[in-house]
Amino acid sequence: MRRGCVVRGTWYVVLSLVALAPARAAGQDIGLPLDARPAPATVEDLDGNAVDLARWVGKGPVVVEFWATWCPVCEALFPKLEAAHGRFGDRVTFLVVAVGVNQSPRSIRRHLERHPMPFATILWDGRGDAVRAFDAFTTSYVVVLDASGKVVYTGAGADQDIAAVLAALLPAR
C-alpha cells in the first residue's frame, strides 16, 4: 500500500459522509458561525510566495473553497462554482485554498494543467493556517464572506448552491 492511501481513504470516508448528510450540505451549521470574521491567515501562491488573505477579506464579497486535487466532492462542486463565477465573477472574488494533505504545489500545478480553474485564485495552505482560521474540517468546505469580511454562508458537499447564496447577498442589477 502506498504511503498516503490511509489519509486519502480517511478523507474519502469523511467527504462521503458529509456529502450524504443533507443538513450539512445545506450550510450554516458547520465551521465558522454566521457573522464571524475569520482569523488572519497567511498562505502561499503556487510559487511559494507568502500571501495574506487580508488582501481580499473585507475588500468585497469572497467565496473561499477548501480543495484538493484528489477530492471527488470538490470535482463535483466545480461546475457550480464555475456557474456562480459566470454570474457574479465581476463582483465577487473566488479563492481556492489547496489543503496541505497528500498534495504539493507541484502536484497541484500538474492537476491544473489538465483541469484548469481560470475563475479562481489558487492558493497553497501547506501549514494549515487558513484551515485553522476558517475552521475548515474537510475539503469541499465553502465559506462566503460579505464585503465587510463577515461570514454569510458555510457549507460542504457537492450540492451547495453558491450562485443562490451570492444572489441573496448581492443587490440585483
| DSSP strand pairing (93-99 vs 62-67) | parallel
For position 7, what pLDDT does the model report? Answer: 41
Residue 96 near residue 67, CB atoms below 8 Å: yes
Establish how many alpha carbons lie within 13 A of residue 26's alpha carbon, considering only the half-sphere containing its beta carbon: 4
Which tens digits make up the pLDDT trace of 78-103?
999 999 999 999 999 999 999 999 99
pLDDT tens, 20-77? 333 333 456 689 999 999 999 999 999 999 999 999 999 999 999 999 999 999 999 9
Residue 165 has what pLDDT?
Answer: 96
pLDDT, average across residues 122-145: 96
The Cα–Cα gap between 36 and 56 comes to 16
- Is the pTM higher than 0.85? The answer reads no
> Quick one: pLDDT at residue 153?
97
Residue 128 has pLDDT above 90, yes or no: yes
Q: What is the mean pLDDT of residues 110-133?
A: 96
Burial of 19 (0-12, 13-18, 19+ CB in 10 A): buried
How far is the C-alpha of 169 from the C-alpha of 60, rounded, in Å?
Answer: 11
